[in-house]
Amino acid sequence: MLAWHLLEQRQEETVSERPEPIRKAFRMKVHPGHEAEYERRHRPIWSELENVLRSHGVSRYSIFLDPATQDLFAYAEIEDEQRWNAIAKTEVCRRWWRYMREVMPSAADDSPISSELREVFRL
């Protein structure tokens, strides 16, 4: 019984010692008529891309589609802005961007055209 209580206490301390993640939200688009292909390419993402995201401090990452407008809403929880920005410099990320450029608006470097969103409410 005492060992269980100490384990619970240690877990609570570990959770409370973790800094709160940085919350990122941004909007992108998918080309009209490419929604199903965009989704197919994310089911699942490449394991090597997932590894890069996690190793760069991404703990959660979701993308939502509004089929009426082709808007994509992305939400990520990250540990550090510098590590988040470093993802774009990885070979895997650049290869992913090249893979996705035909289904979504992209910049000259193949990165998805996106706009950051500012959080205005949180519960």
Q: Single out the catalytic residue among 5, 34, 42, 56.
A: 42
Within 8 A by CB and 6+ apart from 122, the residues are 23
Catalytic residue list contains 42: yes
Query: Which strands make up the sheet holding 22-29, listed edge to edge?
Result: 58-66, 71-78, 22-29, 115-116
Strands 71-78 and 115-116: unpaired
Alpha-carbon distances of 103 from 20, 24, 28, 115, rounded to whole Å: 34, 23, 11, 17
Q: Show which residues are catalytic.
A: 42
